[in-house]
Chains A and B, each alone.
Chain A
Amino acid sequence: MDLVDLIAEKRFIGQEFLTWLWWKSEERGGSVELPGQGDITVVFEKHMLLEYGEGESSEKCICSGLQSELKEARTGLVMGKKLEQARIQVAQNDYEWNFTMAAAVMEFRNVKLPKTGAAQEGGNSPEEIEGLILERIFLFEELVRLVQALFRMFLEVRIGNSWKDELVKIRSWVHTRGQMT
């Protein structure tokens, strides 16, 4: 199967992951426990894009606003839409990232890296520039590592026996949220 067909057939995996992650982040008020690593912060904010259906019959719904005001997005979930894009804040220890995830192809968009001392000091010598490059690589890869850890958590549940129970909880969350709007 070529990449275009595979993206079309399996785009639901990324979208289900992102929708699951929204529920997971709200389950404990913005905290998600990564196995072996402890709690990290995962907060959905500002901007979301929901999608329903496929191809020409697909519908999209863009919602933006403060976290507490994502009413349209929540209603969209009740209508059976799934998250395709969301602006997310992820934090672990002293580091905080903000980025938009495009779920179907797992693109990281407008990634804002944590502020660090080295980045602010700058410098022009080759050593300082290489240090800066390595630090930015580290920060990009840390974000990827955290998202991968969350994705692995989702996959293990999704293909495991506990998915049915998880789905009941997610459906109940979707309906509770829908009623709040």
Chain B
Amino acid sequence: MGFLNGSASFVRFSVEGDLPENFWDFAAERITAFSFKDIDETYDEFSIGWVSVQNMFDSDFKFASYASGDYVTLSLRIDERKVAPAILKKFAQKEEERIKKEKQIPKIGRTMKIEIRERIQSELMKKAAPVPAVYDLCWNLSDSTLLFFTTNRKAHTLLEDLFKETFGLLIAQQIPYYMAERLLDEDDTQRLAAITPDIFV
């Protein structure tokens, strides 16, 4: 459910700065450079990059599938290996018990506990399958605005960073105040800056 079908939730961003000449050539090169890299067969903990809005396994963008008229449509894919705290706690304690028996010691020191925890975490992390998350975006080139189809704040921050790295452009979430600045002229914007909350009763 999202941009392409069903109901969708989104926020708006403005895209700040000028597009380079030959934008589509630039986009082809940059999107490929920052396309999603699969980590299923590696031990990497985190991967982020662009995939096609139509298929999360398509990061080659044959036939420039991100270009729709005057819009760029992309999905931000994030794969992350995670270990639930309860699982980590269980296996760390299990290992502590094993070591206590093996070494015939009644108690394990703090430093060693931390070492065990870190080692177990790294082992569990390697076994954990990466959890995918996919968020669609639609960039209106003529209007310099962007719809991002999630209300997840963490995803907003990741988008801001990846967008800047990919296209060298900053984006700003269009909260009401920023939206108002774009709708009003300079005098009215100053008036708006001066208003304070009113009581409606």
Contacts and interface: CB of A to CB of B under 8 A. Distances in A.
Interface of A: 3, 6-7, 10, 12-14, 16-17, 19, 77-80, 82, 102-113, 126, 129-130, 132-134, 136-137, 140-141, 144, 148, 151-152, 155-156, 158-159, 163, 167, 170-171, 174-175
B125 interface: no
B176 A103 contact: yes
Contacts of A163: 198
Contact of B195 (A79, A110, A158): A158
Chain A residues touching B, majority SS: helix
Given A152-B183, A158-B195, A130 B140 contact: no
A106 B138 contact: no
Contacts of A140: 3, 8, 10, 138, 147
A174 B7 CA distance: 32
B179 interface: yes
Contacts of B11: 105-108
Contacts of B151: 102, 107, 109
Interface stretch (B27-35, B84-92, B184-192): B184-192
A181 to B, nearest CB: 14
Given A105-B175, A110-B7, A111-B7, 9 more contacts: A103-B176, A107-B151, A108-B10, A129-B54, A134-B71, A137-B138, A148-B183, A152-B183, A167-B198
Instruction: Using C-beta atoms within 8 Å of the partner chain, give the interface range for chain B.
Output: 35 or more
Nearest to A100: B9
B12 A155 contact: no
B197 A16 contact: yes
Contacts of B188: 155-156, 159
Contacts of B8: 110-111, 113, 140
6 contacts: A79-B201, A104-B175, A111-B10, A130-B69, A133-B53, A174-B200
